A = this chain, B = another copy of it.
């Protein structure tokens, strides 16, 4: 079993790689667990921190089809395509967003088609495909009216992955991830960056700014749960998917106010006092266009899971920080 992970320098890609190495096997086309012989990690910068002999590292620009051809080879069984320009950056740099979020995904699909090997492919999409006048709980059959270029690019790729799969060019599965919280590391240019920052920075003794109102409802998933769901998305039988390869994952629906209350329960009021509330109109516009709750009926039927509560998400973050 030879696996490719794009965006592997990101926290989710590297966490997925570590989990796959630890598992040692993965269910693929045979329907049975197969030993993982190689994981190719690729990103614009070289993914670091791996010493396992099964890891191969390749830096490159995935908007270049020649780079894609070097990464995805005839012996590639599986692709986890996580690389993306995040929402805030794709809004300010339209061309970069189109190149990485759309053209690179198309290039990966075309490479799979040209090889004729029909690899399994897990592609990550986002709640940002939704927008406009939404019901309180978004059903699986909700139309995608994205209000950001990031969301539009992800929605277009969902259609590509489904059509390439329907035609047998690839065995794709698109997972619409909730906002990931608590993401380790430093703030990024995602409009949702604060959803980790207001927990992570105060826990590290630093100030954090919350750019949205406290009543804003978020749809969240912990990194640990996301990795489990990415692997489950790879392993499930494609025959259980019907008219689309796109699956809205279950998540935790919670207001920012309740996220902060959970932080206070776990770490105390001295920590939550480090949060500054200062609204940012550009971030609010994007975040408020995203739904805060989903039915995720199909995903639940397919065995995907959500986190139990936000307190345990914070505790899992603290645990992970202590055991990197």
Contacts and interface: CB of A to CB of B under 8 A. Distances in A.
Interface of A: 94, 131-133, 140-147, 149, 152, 155-156, 159-160, 162-163, 166-167, 242-244
12 contacts: A94-B167, A131-B243, A132-B242, A132-B244, A133-B243, A142-B143, A144-B159, A145-B162, A146-B163, A152-B162, A152-B163, A159-B159
A92 B162 CA distance: 17
A136 to B, nearest CB: 14
Contacts of A166: 147
Residue in A145, A166, A167 whose Cβ sees the most chain B Cβ within 10 Å: A145
Shortest 4 CB-CB distances between A and B: which pairs? A132-B243, A152-B163, A145-B243, A145-B244
Given A143-B144, A156-B159, 7 more contacts: A132-B244, A141-B142, A146-B159, A146-B163, A147-B243, A152-B162, A152-B163
Contact of A160 (B152, B160, B244): B152
Contact of A242 (B133, B142, B242): B133
Contacts of A142: 141, 143
